[in-house]
Amino acid sequence: AQKVTQAQTEISVVEKEDVTLDCVYETRDTTYYLFWYKQPPSGELVFLIRRNSFDEQNEISGRYSWNFQKSTSSFNFTITASQVVDSAVYFCAPYGQNFVFGPGTRLSVLP
Partner 1 sequence: DAGVTQSPTHLIKTRGQQVTLRCSPKSGHDTVSWYQQALGQGPQFIFQYYEEEERQRGNFPDRFSGHQFPNYSSELNVNALLLGDSALYLCASSQWDRLFGIYGYTFGSGTRLTVV
Which residues of this protein are in contact with partner 1, per CB under 8 A? 4, 35, 37, 42-45, 47, 91, 93, 95, 97-104
Cβ at position 15, least distance to partner 1 in Å: 25
Cβ at position 81, least distance to partner 1 in Å: 27
Closer to partner 1 by CB, 11 or 100: give it. 100
Closer to partner 1 by CB, 44 or 54: give it. 44
Cβ at position 69, least distance to partner 1 in Å: 22
CA 10-74-41 angle, to 5 degrees, is 35
Integer Cα distance of 61 and 58 in angstroms: 10
H/E stretch holding 69 reads strand 64-69
Asked if 94 and 34 touch (Cβ cutoff 8 Å), the reply is yes
- The neighbouring-strand residues paired with 12 are 108
